[in-house]
Amino acid sequence: MSEAKFDSLEALKNLLTEEQVEVIEERERAQREFAAKDFHFQRMIARKNELWLHHDKKKAAWKPAEMDERVFNKVSELFNDEKSRRWVIHLIYEFMPLSSAQQVPKMPVNRKCPFTGFELTGLQNILTGDRDKHIAYVGKTTDVMLSGIGLQELYRLIRKCSQDFNSKNGRVVNYVLDSIRTESLEKQGD
């Protein structure tokens, strides 16, 4: 028997019964409708997340500096790598919204920012003359500390991915942001 390839339903119509063709057409129509509904739902979630992030940025009185391409690319590489994606998602949970990131007042040990490689210090050390280091920021419950530039580029990646809601990364980021947003709204309601 020869192995014939069929590229469309039209080529198969003469081999299938009318009922089978109707079932296949109904499935294709349902898939198109689902994709359209899913697209609109993802866009709605992305818009809600964008408004929430924008409102929180105003509340945090955060002024972004110029983009650091090297750091942004490193954060993007870590997020695109399947092995380190979970760690970056953990950081998103810990540092978003931006108002939850706190400057470290005093650091007992020297640390480096995982994104920038800059040495970090606390606010107290800046006042006493340790000015060649960057102020450390810590999230809600994590022990990971980021520099201001590292936090800024993480935020830029989140904004970029949330706006690209139809891609895999966009869906992941919007899911994470949506869960953080709904959790914070539930806490406010209590």
Helices (H), 105-167: 123-127, 148-163
* CB 78, CB 160: distance < 8 Å: no
Give CA–CA dist 78/114, Å, rounded: 11
Bigger pLDDT: 4 vs 1: 4
Residue 74: its pLDDT value, please? 92
Parallel, antiparallel, or unpaired: how do β-strands 134-138 and 102-103 relate?
antiparallel
Residue 63: its pLDDT value, please? 67
Give CA–CA dist 161/171, Å, rounded: 8
Which residues neighbour 164 within 8 Å (Cβ) at sequence distance 6 or greater? 170
Residue 124: its pLDDT value, please? 83
Q: How confident is the model at residue 1 (pLDDT cuts 50, 70, 90)?
A: very low
- pLDDT digit string, tens, across residues 17-45: 778 778 878 888 777 776 666 666 667 77
- Return the domain boundaries, the chain: 9-189
